[in-house]
Amino acid sequence: MRAAQWLTVLLLGLAACSSHPKTAAPPANFPDLSAFTPVDPQDYHVSGTSFVSPNQIDCVLDFGPHAVTVCSGVIPGMPASQGGCAWAHKADPAATDAPYVLEDSDDACATSLARPIQPGKKLVTKNGTCAVGDGGLVACIDADNKHGFVLQPSGSWAF
């Protein structure tokens, strides 16, 4: 009986002392995602979980073998010298700690088959969250809050 009590105390002590991976805080200027209302991801499943914003930014969450977020369209706030369709994507999708980048393409943007999402809503999946706000805002971040991007007319940026 004493051995069982000792083992219970030991296990409880180990559980209390073990460290849990912590989620990083998003950058200070990243939108507050708690201000957005979640939508049901099943309602946005068309060959993957995806949506199109009111300003025609097409995003797919948990995309490909590395389950990353990819958005494309005429991204607001990109330098005027860039034309065609722009992309927000991981610099290296295979690297779990890779930052996102914004890149330009000479190709025209494809027509989206994704379901439209309204401003004030967010789509949450296992590996990330994207929110759509007023004024052309699309903000996406990985589940660990370490990497993401903000697309907006005042200036788009990635981290």
pLDDT tens sequence across 53-81: 999 999 999 999 999 999 999 888 876 55
Q: Is the pLDDT of residue 21 over 60?
A: no
Amino acid 159 reads F
Nearest to 117 by CA among 48, 66, 69, 50: 50
Q: Is the pLDDT of residue 9 over 90?
A: no
What stretches of the chain show up as alpha helix (H) in DSSP?
2-17
